[in-house]
Structure 1
Amino acid sequence: MVTAHSGDYLYKKIHAKLKIFLALSDTGKLMKVIEKFDFEKQNMTKITNTHFLRIDHRVVSLSMAITGLTETISVLKNQLNEIHWYDGEWFLEESEPIYGLAFIAFQNYINGSIKDFADSLNEKETYYKLEKNLPEGNKSRIELIIALANYAKHKDEGIPHRGTKEILDHFNLNYEDVNYLDKSPIFQGLNLFSEGWDLFTLKTLVTDWREYMWARFD
């Protein structure tokens, strides 16, 4: 397996041999060769780092989290048939925080992916807006995921923070006086992604978004 380390080792060996040849030569030709190697070494390091960071090492833990949350939701769904008093309201009450955890997991994945790409979260809102063929003035689905994650974390504090509120308002999601849980932003938001509230649909969305963030510069 060729690694950055093995490439660096090979470079050092070649560089050392060129220096020996240079010591035996009165011309500057070999010095130019060494300078070229130095330049190519810098480019090789940059390319190696780019490819390393582009590899999605975060998707495994995300998949494990979403699998676990999906299985937990399935247990609650089964109770609808197994427990006579367990109805839809009970299911919504118990599953809302679980779906909320899923949105938080997606948020962590998104922010981690931005850190991989930009080495900083200072401009994270710019990357949230990335979406293919997004009409001007529209909010992206990534922005909605972030807003729903923030809503899930802070919903008991009252009115959402300004940024979260702006996104929820854009998608016409009610967050004031939610008397029926099926009208909560979490479930109404899920409807915008998948009729069956399939969390793996959202997983595909965020992993595709991550690759798109990189692919724009291919």
Structure 2
Amino acid sequence: MDLTIDEIRNSALNCDFNIPRLKIIIDGVNNAIKNLYNEELAIDWWESLDEKKEYEAICRLAILAFENYIESTINSFSEEYLSKFDNPNLNIDLIIVLANLITSKTDNHDESLRKFNLDINNYPIYNGIILLNKDKNLNEIIDILIKWRIELIHFVYPQ
């Protein structure tokens, strides 16, 4: 018995094994951020800590986890469908650019960062997180990724 497109789409929409893993990682990052603000910066009497620099160091893991989610989602579909998926999502592009910056997959970071008005010398990860969510709420960035995945599924399995 073959499954219908509706059954496949509903199954794909209701079954995302990667999102619970992503949420666990982001919970850990959120705890580290809370510790930074509640413990480290709160007792920084000499103002020796640079908030943006410390935040960037913590959020590198979040960016890489977001990129891993994007890549695993893309890899779950065949190349045939993805080549036709022409839905430019600047948030997804920004995450990929920041992940490439972290992992040095790209030689010319300035050009790719310029697309988002980010400067490599001015905390691009910190400012990139703000572009993704002005309140720096990493859980809301997860929601952006979930919505993007839903769009992709509806494209691959149209009604």
Computing the radius of gyration from Cα coordinates, the structure with the larger value is 1
Which structure 1 residue ranges, 4+ long, deviate > 3 Å from structure 2? 45-54, 122-127, 164-167
Identity among equivalent pairs (%): 27
Query: Aligned partners of 1:102 and 1:124: how far apart in 2?
Result: 25
Letter in 1 for 2:31: E
1:185 paired with 2:124, answer yes
1:84 equivalent in structure 2: 45
Alignment partner for residue 93 of structure 1, among 53, 70, 93? Answer: 53
Letter in 2 for 1:203: I
Aligned pairs (5 A) from 1:65-80? 65-78=25-38, 79-80=40-41
* Residues 125 and 148 of structure 1, relative CA distance in 2, 3 Å threshold: farther
Consecutive unaligned residues of structure 1, counting only runs of 5 or more, are 1-40, 132-138
Query: Aligned partners of 1:171 and 1:195: how far apart in 2?
Result: 14
Q: What is the number of equivalent residue pairs in this alignment?
A: 155
Quote the offset at 1:99 in angstroms: 0.8
Q: For residues 23-42 of structure 1, what are the alpha-carbon distances to aligned partners after superposition, in whole Å with 9 as ceiling and x for unaligned?
A: xxxxxxxxxxxxxxxxxx2x
Query: Aligned partners of 1:172 and 1:49: how far apart in 2?
Result: 40
Q: For residues 141-179 of structure 1, what are the alpha-carbon distances to aligned partners after superposition, in whole Å with 9 as ceiling and x for unaligned?
A: 101111111112229xxxx435x554312112112xx2x
Please say if residues 55 and 126 of structure 2, whose CA atoms lie closer than 8 Å, have aligned partners that are also in contact: no
Please say if residues 9 and 153 of structure 2, whose CA atoms lie closer than 8 Å, have aligned partners that are also in contact: no
Consecutive unaligned residues of structure 2, counting only runs of 5 or more, are none
Aligned pairs (5 A) from 1:26-175? 41=1, 43-44=2-3, 51-54=10-13, 55-78=15-38, 79-86=40-47, 89=50, 91-118=51-78, 130-131=87-88, 140-154=90-104, 160-162=106-108, 165-175=110-120
Quote the offset at 1:84 in angstroms: 1.8
Please say if residues 114 and 124 of structure 1, whose CA atoms lie closer than 8 Å, have aligned partners that are also in contact: yes
- Which structure has greater helix proportion? 1
Quote the offset at 1:59 in angstroms: 0.6
* Residues 125 and 98 of structure 1, relative CA distance in 2, 3 Å threshold: farther
